Amino acid sequence: MKIIKRNGSEVTFDLDKIVNAIKAANAEVPTEEQLTEREVMFASLNVEDACKVAGHTVTVEEVQDLVEDQLMALDRFTVARKYIIYRYLQNQRRQKNTTDDKILSLIESNNEEVKQENSNKNPTVVSVQRDYMAGEVSKDLAMRELLPEEVVDAHNEGIIHFHDADYYAQHMHNCDLVNLEDMLQNGTVISGTMIEKPHSFSTACNIATQIIAQVASCQYGGQSISLAHLAPFVDVSRKKIRRAVYAEMEAIDAHPGEEKINAIVEKRLRNEVARGVQTIQYQVVTLMTTNGQAPFITVFMYLNEAKDEQEKADLALVIEEMLKQRYQGVKNEAGVWITPAFPKLIYVLEDDNVTEDSKYFYLTKLAAKCTAKRMVPDYISEKKMREYKLSKGETEGNGDVYTCMGCRSFLTPDRSGNGYDNVANAGNWEPGKPKYYGRFNQGVVTINLPDVALSAQGDMDEFWKIFDERLELCHRALRCRHDRLVGTTSDAAPILWQYGALARLKKGEKIDKLLYGGYSTISLGYAGLYECVKAMTGHSHTDPEATDFALSVMQHMNDKCAEWKAAENIDYSLYGTPLESTTYKFAKCLQRRFGIIKGITDKGYITNSYHVHVTEEIDAFTKLAFESRFQRLSPGGAISYVEVPNMQDNLEAVIKVMQFIYDNIMYAELNTKSDYCQVCGYDGEIQVVEDDGKLVWECPSCHNRDQSKMNVARRTCGYIGTQYWNQGRTQEIKDRVLHL
């Protein structure tokens, strides 16, 4: 059994240290108030037992809390008081400088908490360590000097989570919807070099990957681009290739006829499209940005985004190639085809691709095949999105369809009615057309809903009172994020603010006008709706007796966002937080504050957003239909999923799920498994097993447990992660039941 020390390193549990700590406090009190030797050992063994059943690797702080509990249970209050005083004094000494210890443990790869913070970062790589080191210093500065004490305390207690505190000191924001069309059609500047409009599809793809890398280095969240912005360059290449073919035929005095020439042109064009798509796929996978990981990029595939039928056919050609190459995967160091984490793909289900007799159904079948093997693409329903996302003047069913800014964060609809009067000076602004590309999210603060419920102790009036207090605390924390961006000049990130990714502002111009009026959003995140409802009603939110309460919780958060928005002209939006490391942190904090409560705090994780609990038996269609009601109440971003077995031999069922998504829910995905053991070549499902109180990944064939010698791909928070998850997320993955 292991425990996590204060500097984040993991060590073997040592019972003698607990015995000695109790004896030290015991020696400080009169003999008649001391514990007997038997009581010392009894208390110590009880602490050890509690650590074994905690469901996660406990921290030193948790162990010390358990010691206090045992001393109190034995009515040895004087000893307990001495122990508490000792803890306090030691803590005061440590407060002088804890950052150095954390950084040193990082360099030696001993910091378990930071090592497992991001499942797509390998903590042994120096660039990742450098980012984490800078993050620790930045976070320390933010927590000590920049953020209000009440926000810091609430964050540390797990009452709220102030996301990405390690980037807060800098004037950086969360995620973007990149205006790739403007940058490609009207030119941009990268690292001081003018990049003009490309003259071929392959060049456009190469420039796009350079833009992606530059954008990723200037913000800390996800970014999205649309293949529709690359599609016009297919015809540019077609015409260029046709001219070349004519010239070749003329040079050899050949006259094969138009039909033959067209065949030659289209064959060469397909080869160029394949090269361009390969550039995007391989460069995204192999690029490493300043934060030590591949760019967190989403690629949007929406046929009806094309401007005319020819462009739509060309876009279909690009989508087809993107799906084919993603289905193939990429080769790992052993030369085996595996599933890459990025780019994330989103495929829009629409009238002309969702039924067997529709023109582009062949793309949907290819998407289903790719999903069954590689877990992407994810699916947006054009039908449901047009019902939900209504810009000013639009009616239900005639709204807008656009991609999220990463894994799930969605912009609010354009409430200006005029594309915000082109406040960003975009080169592709169209008066009266809703504006989405070039907009962004300012940041996220998440409320821990189970903590609200458990603090209320079953009293409904107290629940709503505490809920409002916590929401107001989140509001103040979100204002910190907003105010940190106010006054930022365009020079802070030229690719974003000056050269078209988000705007074309002047040098030295402040970005303030982009922070108000709905041009950008700011997100109130929430987590653990299931546990919250369970604590207040005794039922899962899928139970009809509890569903209305769950919906009222969601509506209340939406009402608060609307209230803040009306008062401040800032687009607060409710966001189903994609908890990764925070699911573990929140669970540990709940256990520390309220103890182990069956069905609520007895696991090393809490449920993401509004999701049905991962252990709950429910079929795929019922789950999606149920969660669609909550997804609509999460306009700032949310995604639903169904957990499925290997579906490569049952693509008809995959398509049935996709068609159900089209009719019932705006944004959803299918989770399968895609693993490979580099030691023995096993390509089935890598298992999670327990080893001395810790969950580890193990090949069921050769029992390899070396994370560096396996490729594990699981969807965790809307995007695909690899095997570097923390204990809470690993337990959540282990607990998942199938929905199909």
* Cβ 575 vs Cβ 523: under 8 Å: yes
**Residues in a beta bridge with 58:** 3
Residue 189 has phi, psi (to 5 degrees) of -130, 130
Burial annotation 329-345 (CB, 10 A radius, 16+ → b, else e)? bbeeeeeeebbbbbbbb
Burial class for 665, CB neighbours closer than 10 Å (0-12, 13-18, 19+): buried
Place of tokens 């020439």: 261
- What residues act catalytically? 174-175, 405, 407, 409, 441, 575, 580, 718
CA distances from 732 to 105, 716, 727 (A): 27, 9, 9
For β-strands 175-177 and 188-190, DSSP reports them as unpaired
CA distance 670 to 648: 12
Alpha helices (H) in 329-448, listed in sequence order: 361-374, 382-388
Quote the CA–CA distance of 626 and 612 in Å, as a whole number. Answer: 9
Q: Which two tokens stand for residue 70?
A: 């045992």
Give the span between the Cα atoms of 581 and 585, in whole angstroms: 7
Other CB atoms within 10 Å distance of the CB of residue 375: 26
The span from the CA of 295 to the CA of 217, in Å, is 8
Give dist(CA 143, CA 146) in Å, integer: 6
- Greatest alpha-carbon pair distance for the chain in Å reads 113
User: What letter does residue 146 receive in the DSSP assignment?
Assistant: I
368 vs 302: CA distance, rounded Å = 16
User: Are 208 and 252 contacting, i.e. CB atoms less than 8 angstroms apart?
Assistant: no
* Amino acid occupying residue 609: S
Q: Which helix (H) or strand (E) holds 670?
A: strand 667-671
111, 105 in Cβ contact below 8 A?
yes
- The bridge status of strand 160-162 relative to strand 694-698 is unpaired
- Nearest residue to 586 (alpha-carbon basis) of 574, 572, 600: 600
Residues whose CB falls within 8 Å of the CB of residue 577, separated by 6 or more in sequence, listed in order: 161, 163, 444, 446, 525, 526, 527, 608, 609
Rg (CA), the chain: 27
Annotate 432-458 with b (16+ C-beta within 10 A) or e (fewer): eebbbbbbbbbbbbbbbbbbbbbbbee
Token pair listed for 481: 């994020």
Contacts of 259 (CB under 8 A, 6+ apart): none
DSSP string, 596-642: --TTTTSSS----TTPPPTTS---HHHHHHHHHHHHTT-TTB--EEE
CA of 454: how far to CAs of 228, 466, 469, 470, 538, in Å?
A: 48, 10, 14, 13, 12
| Residue that is written with structure tokens 């995204």 in the block | 284
Tell me the CA end-to-end span of the chain in Å, nearest whole number: 36
